[in-house]
Chain A
Amino acid sequence: MTTLQMLITIGAAGAATVLTRAAAFIAFPAGRETPAFVRYLGNALPGAVFGLLVVYCLKDVSIFSESHGIPEAVGVLIAGGLYLKRHNMLLSIVASTVVYMLLVNLAF
Chain B
Amino acid sequence: MTETTDTTGAAPGARLAALRAAFPLTIPILAGFVFLGITCGIYAGSLGLPWWVPVLMSIVIFAGSAEFVVASQLAGAFDPLTTFAVVLIINARHLFYGLSMLERFRGLGRKRPYLIFGMCDETFSINYATEPPEGIDRGWFMTWVTALNQLYWVAGCTLGGLFGTLVATTVEGVSFAMTSLFVVIFLDQWEKDHQHLSAVIGIAAAAVALCIMGADNFMIPAMALILIGIACTRRRIEPAYAKSATEDDGEGRA
Residues of A within 8 A of B (CB): 1, 5-25, 28, 30, 34, 37-38, 40-60, 71-72, 75-76, 79-80, 83-84, 89-90, 92-94, 96-97, 100-101, 103-105
- A105 interface neighbour in B73, B96, B99, B173, Cβ under 8 Å: B173
Cα A66 to Cα B226 with chains together (Å)? 31
Q: How far is the CB of A62 from chain B (nearest CB, A)?
A: 9
| B31 contacts partner chain A, Cβ-Cβ < 8 Å | yes
Q: How far is the CB of A23 from chain B (nearest CB, A)?
A: 5
A24 adjacent to B92 (CB under 8 Å): no
Q: How far is the CB of B143 from chain A (nearest CB, A)?
A: 15
Contacts of B198 in A (CB 8 A): 44-45, 47-48
Complex: chain A residue closest to B88, CB-CB: A16
B27 adjacent to A51 (CB under 8 Å): no
- Interface of A, secondary structure class, is helix
A14 adjacent to B61 (CB under 8 Å): yes
- A20 interface neighbour in B92, B106, B187, Cβ under 8 Å: B92
Interface size band for B: 35 or more
Given the interface pairs A80-B183, A83-B187, A104-B172, the reply to whether A50 lies near B31 with Cβ below 8 Å is no
Contacts of B99 in A (CB 8 A): 24, 38, 41-42, 45
Contacts of B87 in A (CB 8 A): 12-13, 16-17
Q: How far is the CB of A61 from chain B (nearest CB, A)?
A: 9
Cα A101 to Cα B172 with chains together (Å)? 7
Cα A15 to Cα B83 with chains together (Å)? 10
A54 adjacent to B203 (CB under 8 Å): yes
Cα A106 to Cα B223 with chains together (Å)? 37
* Per-position 1/0 for B219-232, Cβ under 8 A of A: 10011001101110
B177 adjacent to A16 (CB under 8 Å): no
Contacts of A93 in B (CB 8 A): 28, 31-32, 177, 180-181, 184
Complex: chain B residue closest to A24, CB-CB: B98
A20 adjacent to B95 (CB under 8 Å): yes
